Amino acid sequence: MTSVAQNPRRAAVMILLASALFAATTIVAKYLGTTETPLHPMQVSAGRFFFAFLAITVFAVTTRQRITKPNLPLHFGRSFLGWMGVTLMFAAVARIPLPDATAISFLNPVFGMFFAILILKETIGKWRWLAAAIALCGAFILLRPSGNSIQPAALLALGAAMAMGLEIILIKFLSGRENPVQILWLNNTIGATIACTAAFFVWQSPSMDQWIGLGAIGLIMVTGQALFIQAMRSAEASYVAPFSYATLVFATLYDFLIFTAQPDAISILGAAIILSGAALLAWREARIANKT
């Protein structure tokens, strides 16, 4: 694998652009799920994976990429979890404020930590537990519990965070063992197969605007993924990770400009607490990495 020179400034710009693009996919998904004839979240997810697959395939063929000894069971598991996380996230943003869903999705590293304990048998210190507790408190606030129930749609975003947290574990197994383009192509190939199969059962004929939206989600997502990968290769993960929290800022901005939605006090409080926990976890991971 070709090494990339370390360039923190370039990495910061790339991760900020990736964050803006990731937030854009959720705003397009919200539009597709709230139109007069809304598309099912599984159909939106199918558009995301199918058009991303087309884009990365063109790139792979053009640059003559080769597939070498892929771990197909791991790729399938990772892609299935990715599809589940994306579908649940798209369902959530159509039902709750976009910043709330985005903030809850930042729990995925916390769930990744829990799964690392169960699967990788990692030892978790008090700082990691504290970070996880803080982030989970923020999520509980965003669930908006009342005397009778909690906000059901927020559970969709929580499920998305859990799926993406488990996906992190599988990515750990794959990273460093296979080429990033190979991982990206196989992820979108398998994901498109799963997503299109699931969408068949809920399919409705999209309008021209909806087709454009579906195509946009796929192209925006794969561009964001490519920028994210390059950012991770251009600087240490501990440096890059905090910049990804800008996704929440972009999501809030897009929601306000397009849907004129303003976050309330509960949204701001819950998001701030989740980001505090995630930031503490990122700081602790950086300290651990520097000691090894």
H or E stretch covering 162: helix 152-174
Per-residue pLDDT at 238: 59
Q: Is the pLDDT of residue 113 over 60?
A: yes
Per-residue pLDDT at 148: 55
Is the CB of residue 266 less than 8 Å from the CB of residue 39?
Answer: no
In sequence order, the β-bridge partners of residue 175 are: 178
pLDDT average, residue stretch 96-122: 86
Per-residue pLDDT at 42: 97
Burial environment of residue 121 by CB neighbours within 10 A (0 to 12, 13 to 18, 19 or more)? exposed
CA proximity to 221, closest of 44, 94, 95: 44
235: DSSP letter: S
Per-residue pLDDT at 262: 86
Per-residue pLDDT at 282: 73
The residue that leads in pLDDT, 60 or 282, is: 60
pLDDT average, residue stretch 131-152: 79
Per-residue pLDDT at 46: 97
Per-residue pLDDT at 160: 95
pLDDT average, residue stretch 81-109: 92
In sequence order, the β-bridge partners of residue 50 are: none
Per-residue pLDDT at 2: 47
Q: What percent of the chain has pLDDT over 70?
A: 92
Tell me which range, 40-54, 171-185, 228-242, is most confidently predicted by mean pLDDT: 40-54
pLDDT category at 146 given cuts 50, 70, 90 is low
Q: How far apart are CA 92 and CA 262, in angstroms?
A: 17
pLDDT category at 29 given cuts 50, 70, 90 is very high
Per-residue pLDDT at 1: 45
Q: Is 264 helix (H, G, I), strand (E, B) or coil?
A: coil
pLDDT category at 37 given cuts 50, 70, 90 is very high
Average pLDDT, the chain: 87
Is the CB of residue 279 less than 8 Å from the CB of residue 242?
Answer: yes
Per-residue pLDDT tens digits for 224-281? 988 887 787 777 765 676 677 788 889 989 999 998 888 888 899 988 898 888 888 7
Query: Residue 257 corresponds to which tokens in the numbers above?
Result: 């400009």
Length of the chain: 292
Q: Is the pLDDT of residue 211 over 90?
A: yes
Q: How far apart are CA 83 and CA 98, in angstroms?
A: 19
Is the CB of residue 134 less than 8 Å from the CB of residue 106?
Answer: no
Q: How far apart are CA 240 and CA 4, in angstroms?
A: 15
pLDDT average, residue stretch 14-35: 93
Q: Is the pLDDT of residue 292 over 70?
A: no
pLDDT average, residue stretch 86-108: 91
